[in-house]
């Protein structure tokens, strides 16, 4: 299959490697000229995937029209806040009827739409039934190294999901399917904010008990929001829900947890962001998720406290203290009576 990968960060490059190794013809669109020259010259993406040698058969271009010419599948691997702009640019140059796979995780701040919602609002009408989402517990560097990974692909049409499953499946990359787009996307977006909270707790030295509590209660917030939006709760117990949450909240490779740790140790968010070359999606998505929760009257105290920490100057210790001092109640709502 001829495939275009839009975005040459760590995740886009890792997926391009995976798809190339699976036998597909892959062209990756690169935004920055300097990175494009490095990729062509060294066959390495040192900024995002240090010391990993990329396949010689990978193609790179800075020309969007060239990247998508004649392709059968387009993979979006850009930060969530950049997806609308990229989809809008791409819609003016794409030809044929390719499939579209979003790997971006987030809720758009302006519209409060999921990433598939952004694509449906941006792409031409003939493509609206050809959108899928790939999500799950997967660090780019491990995928690029060929380490075992399992993810989920979601599409409204089971046949489309199966096509994407077959395209991405590899000996070390197992892909499951679902038609629950909302569940998969909410799980992938909210887990980044919960990972920030876990990082804050870890940075404060609050221990494993507090970490387990935050992960578990964070999962409750994910489920509440997803169900209100029409998701199947079973989805959140799977790879794109609990699986992704556990990975992001417990690994030293997690950008969001790392940011949280630094916040817990007293660093300012502005200083942290200036020192990072990659995007921690939870920082921006905290506001959009909280806004969406308020619109839908969904209680999300962890997200609310992290928003106060990031955008209202609240102190890390007070964030955790306020979470612990909330009114006690039954763990499960059906037990309240």
DSSP calls for 157-189: SHHHHHHHHHHH-BTTEEEEEES-HHHHHHHHH
pLDDT at 334: 67
Least confident of 170-179, 193-202, 321-330: 321-330
| Chain mean pLDDT for the chain | 95
pLDDT of 102 strictly over 80:
yes
**Pairing relationship of beta strands 25-29 and 149-154 according to DSSP bridges:** unpaired
* Domains annotated on the chain, with CATH: 2-179 (3.40.50.720), 182-335 (1.10.1040.10)
How far apart CA 141 and CA 9 sit, in angstroms, is 11
Q: Rounded mean pLDDT of 81-105?
A: 96
Instruction: Match 């417990």 to its residue by tokens.
Output: 250
pLDDT digits 0-9 by tens, 278-326: 878 999 999 999 999 999 999 999 999 999 999 999 999 999 888 878 8
pLDDT at 144: 96
For residue 149, the cross-strand partners are: 173
How far apart CA 236 and CA 239 sit, in angstroms, is 8
Specify the pTM: 0.94
pLDDT digits 0-9 by tens, 110-155: 999 999 999 999 999 999 999 999 999 999 999 999 999 999 999 9
In the residue annotation, 191 being an active-site residue is answered as yes
How far apart CA 218 and CA 318 sit, in angstroms, is 18
pLDDT at 337: 47
Q: Rounded mean pLDDT of 155-179?
A: 97
Write down the catalytic residue from 162, 191, 317, 329: 191
pLDDT of 83 strictly over 60:
yes
CA 272 to chain centroid: 20
Query: 18 is written with which tokens?
Result: 């995976």
């Amino acid at each position: 299959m001829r495939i275009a990968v839009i975005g040459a960060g760590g995740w886009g490059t890792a997926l391009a490697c995976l798809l190339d190794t699976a036998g597909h013809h892959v062209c990756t669109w690169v935004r920055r000229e300097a990175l494009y020259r490095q990729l062509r010259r060294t066959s390495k993406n040192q900024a995002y995937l240090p010391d990993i040698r990329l396949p010689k058969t990978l193609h790179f271009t800075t020309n969007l029209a060239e990247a998508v010419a004649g392709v059968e599948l387009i993979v979006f691997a850009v930060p969530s806040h950049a997806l609308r702009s990229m989809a809008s640019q791409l819609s003016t140059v794409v030809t044929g009827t390719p499939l579209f796979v979003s790997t971006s995780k987030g809720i758009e701040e302006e519209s409060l739409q999921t990433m598939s919602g952004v694509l449906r609002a941006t792409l031409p009408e003939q493509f609206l039934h050809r959108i899928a989402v790939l999500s799950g517990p997967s660090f780019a560097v491990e995928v690029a190294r060929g380490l075992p990974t399992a993810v989920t692909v979601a599409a409204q049409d089971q046949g489309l999901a199966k096509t994407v499953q077959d395209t991405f499946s590899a000996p070390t990359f197992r892909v499951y399917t679902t038609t629950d787009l909302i569940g998969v996307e909410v799980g992938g977006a909210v887990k980044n904010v919960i990972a920030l909270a876990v990082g804050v707790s870890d940075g404060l030295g609050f221990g494993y008990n507090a970490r387990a509590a935050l992960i578990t209660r964070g999962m409750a917030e994910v489920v509440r929001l997803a169900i209100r939006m029409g998701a199947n709760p079973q989805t959140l117990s799977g790879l794109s829900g609990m699986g992704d949450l556990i990975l992001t909240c417990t690994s030293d490779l997690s950008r969001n947890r790392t940011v949280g740790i630094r916040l817990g140790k007293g660093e300012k968010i502005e200083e942290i962001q200036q020192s990072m070359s990659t995007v921690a999606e939870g920082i921006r998505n905290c506001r959009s998720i909280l806004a969406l929760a308020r619109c839908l009257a969904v209680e999300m105290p962890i997200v609310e406290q992290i928003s106060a920490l990031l955008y209202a100057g609240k102190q890390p210790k007070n964030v955790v203290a306020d979470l612990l001092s909330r009114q006690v109640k039954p763990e499960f709502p059906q037990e309240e009576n």
